[in-house]
Chain A
Amino acid sequence: MEILVCVKRVPDSAENEIVMNSAGNDIERDDLVYSVNEWDNYAVEEAIQIVEKVGGTVTVVTVGDADADEILRREMAMGAEKGLLLQDDAFEGSDCKGIATALKGAVEKGKYDLIFTGAQADEGAGAVGGMLAAMLDLPYASLVNKIELGDGKLTIGREIEGGNREMNEISMPCVLSIQTGINEPRYVGIRGIRKVSGVEIPVMSAGDLGVDAGSVGAAGAKVKKIDYFVPEKGEGAEMLEGSTEEIIDKLIEILKANGGL
């Protein structure tokens, strides 16, 4: 089984205090620490578990700058055999479609049975997986939280409204966006990362991928960010006061009055 997992380097929300920059068009990035997008980590773990069962290789790919090398190596330390860095100034400022276009180029350079993306990343659009599938004309399933291997096809579970799960059959090759909770990703220590520190990671530019530079990056972006802000605190929060018992009584009263109980 040849599996390509698309990953992204993002500011780690658990280890940063996110504040707006002075220009008000982005977050302050000077003091941030980065890591692999959490969803992508589950996708890589799932791919590795599949390969451990049926053989094959896992390749991790990212669109990014030289710093993105660190997350590719982290995922390789987990067990992905190959890494691939898509790096080109032309990719800068890409919208989701631009990223999907670059990834499509990478997919077409190889031969993959499965392509995974995380369900979403730091910007929360959750669009790249679907776009990539459409561009490749491959079947697509989103928010996948269970995968059972079949012959030429997969049975997959998808998380739907209210914590329910639906089961689908999907033929391969296909693109799946992976939801957290599908597995328990293994730990990657410094030692594991050091072990893969010498592995060559090929870098491909827009030209290498056969991607028209005008269709990606800021130039090709049809969606542009025009503002970025922390919403103002709204009115309406009510602090209950009194002893613990009194607070509980009041809370029950409010819940009852508003149909919560």
Chain B
Amino acid sequence: MEHLISPAHYKFLGFFPGAILSFLYVIVGVGLFAYIMAKRVAPLVLAKPDNSRFSDIPARLMNLLTIWLGQIRQPRYMTAGVLHIVIFFGFLTLGIRTCSLVVIGIFPDFALPGLAMDQPLGFLYNIAKDIMATAVFIACAIAAYRRGIVRPARYAVPEKYGHDHTAEAVFVLAIIMGLMVTESLFEAAAVAAGEPAFLMPLTLVWIFAKILPSSAHGFLQFLHIFSYYAHNTLFFFFLNFLPMGKHFHVITSFFNVLFMRVRRGNIKPVVYGITAEGLDELESIGVKRLEDFTWKHMLDFYSCADCGRCSDQCPANLVKRPLSPRFITIKARDLMFKKYSWRNDFQFGREPLVGSIYEADEIWSCTTCGACEQECPIGIEYIDKIVDLRRGLVDEGEVPQTLQKPLQALSKRGNPWGKVEKKRADWARDKEFAAECEVKIMENGDTAETLYFVDSITSYDDRMVSIAKSTAKILDACGEDFFVIGKDEKDSGNEVVRFGEEMLYQELKNHNMEIIKESGAKRIVTSDPHAYNALKNDYQVDVPVEHISETIMKNIKAGKIKLKPIEDPSKVYTYHDPCYLGRHNAVYDDPRDAIKAIPGIQTVEMVKNRDRSLCCSGGGLMLFYEPHEEERMAVIRVKMAAEAGANVIVCACPFCMVNMEDAIKVAGLDGQLEAIELTELITQHLE
């Protein structure tokens, strides 16, 4: 039988060459796409610079390999994740096919190098793309069913955040399915008409080729040409539709992952590369208007796929604080599309973000726990944006009343309670304790190689000084020669920088850095993860910083300390990962191993653990903030511990302890559940 005429050789109405039509598709489709992209990129060019995104190339390539190409974050949500992986690899495979199809419409014999049908790779590729097209088709059908019929809760759009996004999602899935069908029909028609080809059984193209009547030559010819141009139309429509909404991520995710955060735990500077003097001279600091965001943060807005995972993990959203990270992004993207429209002239209005698209309470509600960033499959950042927005609010004097006192106290006394400096090491002078364990204090002229940086809450809080004492006893038992700074230690400022009071943070940091240098400490141990994070990631002190859990494990392994069997073996212990030890610093195992080193101890994990740990409500200045919320995060957490069958929740952070001990009472779990700090537990079991 006669083979079908290819689109390039086809004559429309008997005279108009298909090749020219195909060429026009490319000119119009690519031209429009280039125009739209130029308009989309323009605000990024005008945005604030961020050259840090071009360093750490090996780590960035690793992220591309794992997070983008490897899709490693996708299976954290199994159903959606697997569907996405199928569609993602389908796109990668079929992207090649689509490119060559576009060219085939002009040059019918075109094949990408090595991928011609008569070459082994081309043969294999042809089978692979048919399988992928079928897989994508099925995945999209399931995805459409999920979005349209099952409707998982995390995709819902609360009324205050605008309209529902289901229609757009289903529409795009339909386009993708259309692309798969037309691609398969195009080939199936040719095969049905007699073109020799091996078709993988059960693929779309195989099914179509089986169904199509090989005798109806005219129909097959029509179908061949129709499906070609239908595919071309869908493809170029899709290409130009991508930058209009949440499917922009198909294009931007590569770049977003390439440029995503590579360091952990730190906060971006006010302006990259700025000096202390430069900071004083800035007209305004922080993000107040859309244009104050960096290009990467704007790229984040473009890239959000609206998958809702950030908000699903966000503890603030969970307790119904007025914050949903997903909508921090979506609202900013809507604003970008409005101000920097691809159709209209740009609007350079400079209206403030807080008061228009954001509320102040929304910005203050974040505990900076990092659950959203840990989850985002394409590396969208939130903490730096929240901090930048807070910097803007602080600069305008718009700080909640409850935070003003502690900030002022931090500025005057170096701790948020305004306690007197000279009492900072009073815990170490407590007679009963001092008799058991003598602590060197720098203000007495006593220093050593190892500095125990205590930080404010552990130094002053009547309940939490027990952590300082326990830590000291552990260090003592390990045979460590250590000291504390005493009155000249100031708050580490972990929350000061995160609450946007940059200048105060700089003062605290400079003071502490100088004192640490003056002390000649060669190594720093902390018991407070917030201090640990600030010293390690924000200050970046040039001596090693470790958390006491790491010290404990090192010494247990080295046999320097031994733990005696658990007192009450019937009790079940569970470990709560503090955000600043876990997510921000990836210390997950040492505290767990330290607990398990107690002979006979029974442990259990909570539903949310390790990098999905649930924030306790936040530490540092967050203790002073009065959020609008329906429930306390810690109350949910302690209930989770009880559900896991635990009698004791072990925390490795003084702020977690404050929140958990309160929450146990609020939840009415007194007598059923208790909270203990890791160092307290270890000290109780020191041999």
- A191–B503 touching, CB < 8 Å: yes
Within 8 A of B (CB), among A154-192: 184-192
Known: A33-B413, A35-B408, A194-B503. A188 touches B397 (CB 8 A): yes
Chain B residue nearest to A184 (CB atoms) is B401
**Neighbour of A191 across the interface among B285, B403, B408, CB < 8 A:** B285
- A33–B412 touching, CB < 8 Å: yes
A54 in the interface, Cβ–Cβ < 8 Å? no
**Neighbour of B413 across the interface among A15, A187, A188, A192, CB < 8 A:** A15
A16 in the interface, Cβ–Cβ < 8 Å? yes
**Neighbour of A16 across the interface among B403, B411, B418, CB < 8 A:** B418
Chain A residue nearest to B393 (CB atoms) is A187
Chain B residues positioned under 8 Å from A187 (CB to CB): 394, 397-399, 403-404, 407
- A35–B412 touching, CB < 8 Å: yes
- Complex Cα distance A13/B412, Å? 12
Within 8 A of A (CB), among B400-443: 401, 403-405, 407-409, 411-413, 418, 420, 422
- Complex Cα distance A187/B408, Å? 9
- Complex Cα distance A40/B395, Å? 22
Known: A189-B501, A191-B280. A14 touches B405 (CB 8 A): yes
User: Is the interface on chain A under 10, 10 to 19, 20 to 34, or 35 or more residues?
Assistant: 10 to 19
Q: How many residues of B are in contact with the other chain, CB < 8 A?
A: 26
- Complex Cα distance A191/B418, Å? 20
A17 in the interface, Cβ–Cβ < 8 Å? yes
- Complex Cα distance A35/B408, Å? 9
Chain A residues positioned under 8 Å from B503 (CB to CB): 189-191, 194
Chain A residues positioned under 8 Å from B398 (CB to CB): 186-187
How near does chain B come to A50, taking the closest CB pair, in angstroms?
Answer: 16
Chain B residue nearest to A41 (CB atoms) is B404
A241 in the interface, Cβ–Cβ < 8 Å? no
A113 in the interface, Cβ–Cβ < 8 Å? no
Known: A14-B405, A31-B420. A192 touches B280 (CB 8 A): no
Chain B residue nearest to A192 (CB atoms) is B397
- Complex Cα distance A194/B279, Å? 11
A2 in the interface, Cβ–Cβ < 8 Å? no
- B394–A189 touching, CB < 8 Å: yes
Chain A residue nearest to B501 (CB atoms) is A189
A78 in the interface, Cβ–Cβ < 8 Å? yes
- A186–B409 touching, CB < 8 Å: no
Chain A residue nearest to B506 (CB atoms) is A190
Chain A residue nearest to B401 (CB atoms) is A184
- Complex Cα distance A16/B504, Å? 20
B507 in the interface, Cβ–Cβ < 8 Å? yes
How near does chain B come to A70, taking the closest CB pair, in angstroms?
Answer: 11
How near does chain B come to A118, taking the closest CB pair, in angstroms?
Answer: 17
Chain B residue nearest to A14 (CB atoms) is B418
- Complex Cα distance A35/B507, Å? 18
Chain A residues positioned under 8 Å from B411 (CB to CB): 190
Within 8 A of A (CB), among B373-395: 394-395
Per-residue interface assignment for chain A, residues 20 to 42, with 1 indicating a CB less than 8 Å from any chain B CB and 0 otherwise? 00000000000101010000000
- B401–A78 touching, CB < 8 Å: no
Per-residue interface assignment for chain A, residues 134 to 146, with 1 indicating a CB less than 8 Å from any chain B CB and 0 otherwise? 0000000000000
Which of B401, B412, B422 gathers most chain A CB within 10 Å?
Answer: B412
- A189–B418 touching, CB < 8 Å: no
Interface residues of B (CB under 8 A from A): 280, 285, 394-399, 401, 403-405, 407-409, 411-413, 418, 420, 422, 501-504, 507
Can you show 18 pairs from A to B with CB atoms below 8 A apart? A12-B408, A14-B405, A14-B409, A15-B408, A15-B409, A33-B412, A33-B418, A185-B404, A187-B399, A189-B407, A189-B504, A190-B411, A190-B503, A190-B504, A191-B285, A191-B502, A192-B397, A194-B280
